[in-house]
A and B are shown apart, each in its own frame.
Chain A
Amino acid sequence: MTLAPAFTEDVSKLESDGFGTLSLTWWGVIGFMLIEATGFALLFGAYFFLMSHEQTWAPQPWHPPDLLAGTLFTIVILLSEIPNTLAKKAALRLDLKAERRLMAWVLGFGVVLLVIRGFEFNSLNIFWYDNAYGSVLWAILLMHTTHLATDFGDTLVLWLLIKTPHGEQKRRFVDADENALYWRFVWGSWLPCYLLIYWLPRLFQ
């Protein structure tokens, strides 16, 4: 005895594929960013927990991590926000040609960043099996590297997709917009990592 429908509102006029909070995948990206942010927060918590046990943080003998690679990485990743923001605006304007060019720029920055990250690993001056300090340093760096690499992969796939005829659909611009949002999370989560790896132990010397 399914109830007879009483028609009240016609929703066919509503547009489809909205940006930001009007898109389901935007909420999905926010959900995953929450999960990863909790992961980062817990890893920082572990860092401070291990630190709280030591008389001198960065247990001796301690060779401070070289600042060059890390600082260079931080500068370049912050600069990468410029093409990223422009790409986000282009997506909102549904400007496909600009989007393809700017996303290429973001990918270029991504490659440079991945190369610098390679140097960062051996500028830590410690192995992951030396002590808990070394382990947690490597853990923070590796965790951020997985985020950097996966987002680079996402951007690359999206870039290849918008070069195909699929690029004309509005859906792709919504994806590009959310991809740019996630890139902000990647460099946003790097800043505390940078401080904990490179600067906090130096404060205690």
Chain B
Amino acid sequence: MSSRFPNKLAAVALLALLCGCHRDQQQPRGQPLGETVPAAASPDTIFPGGATPAPLDPRAADYEHNAYAIAQGQQLFTWMNCVGCHAHGGGGMGPALMDGKWRYGGRIDQIASSIADGRPNGMPAWRGKLTNQQIWQLAAYVRSLSGQVRKDAVGARADTMSNTPPQTETIRKPVEPADSAQ
């Protein structure tokens, strides 16, 4: 049929449909009982230049672009009063989470270990207060604040005061480790 059918758009639609299937997977149970965050991913494995960081934790795939995990993370971000120090990602007492600078690494497993083990200058350790699954959900949401997450897995806004432009509009910030000189 002689049609100037926009193949590009059809391809996008098909791709979107196919990869959508695990975006919404709801895992109420999270990983098997007794799982703990790998001790290896501690801050000292992050050093400027040269050596490659530890291989990505296998669980990252379950959380990075999973809409359910990000939504639960958003809820936990408010419930656990992360807003108190980080505001809605703009930063206050705590560092900003929306810019691309990551003092302790911007990968999801590095963020998870920052949450679990805490960081100097006031970041409390949440291990024992939150389950590992909740820590990973928080890490997934924190990653989405700087636009690292696919736009169709993120909610545009929360049912709260609108404090940031819609998450579906935030431009992806390049992830670069902050200079550890501070």
Contact = CB atoms under 8 A, between A and B. Distances in A.
Nearest to B164: A129
B20 interface: no
A130 B169 CA distance: 13
Contacts of B169: 129
Contacts of A127: 165
A71 interface: no
Contacts of A129: 156-157, 162, 165-166, 169
A169 interface: no
Highest count of chain B CB atoms <10 Å: which of A127, A129, A130: A129
Nearest to A127: B165
A125 interface: no
Interface in B73-109: none
Interface string A162-198: 0000000000000000000000000000000000000
A131 interface: yes
Interface string A107-128: 0000000000000000000010
A61 to B, nearest CB: 13
A127 B157 CA distance: 14
Nearest to A130: B162
Interface in A112-152: 127, 129-131
B170 to A, nearest CB: 12
A153 B156 CA distance: 32
Contacts of A131: 162
A127 B156 CA distance: 14
A129 B162 CA distance: 7
A131 B161 CA distance: 9
Interface in B141-177: 156-157, 162, 165-166, 169
A59 to B, nearest CB: 11
A130 B166 CA distance: 10
B24 to A, nearest CB: 24
Nearest to B165: A129
Contacts of B162: 129-131
A129 B166 CA distance: 7
Nearest to B156: A129
A125 to B, nearest CB: 16
A127 B169 CA distance: 13
A10 B169 CA distance: 66
Task: Sort A-B residue pairs by CB-CB distance and give the 9 closest, nearest first.
Answer: A129-B166, A129-B162, A130-B162, A129-B165, A129-B157, A131-B162, A127-B165, A129-B156, A129-B169
Interface of A: 127, 129-131
Given A129-B156, A129-B162, 7 more contacts: A127-B165, A129-B157, A129-B165, A129-B166, A129-B169, A130-B162, A131-B162
9 contacts: A127-B165, A129-B156, A129-B157, A129-B162, A129-B165, A129-B166, A129-B169, A130-B162, A131-B162
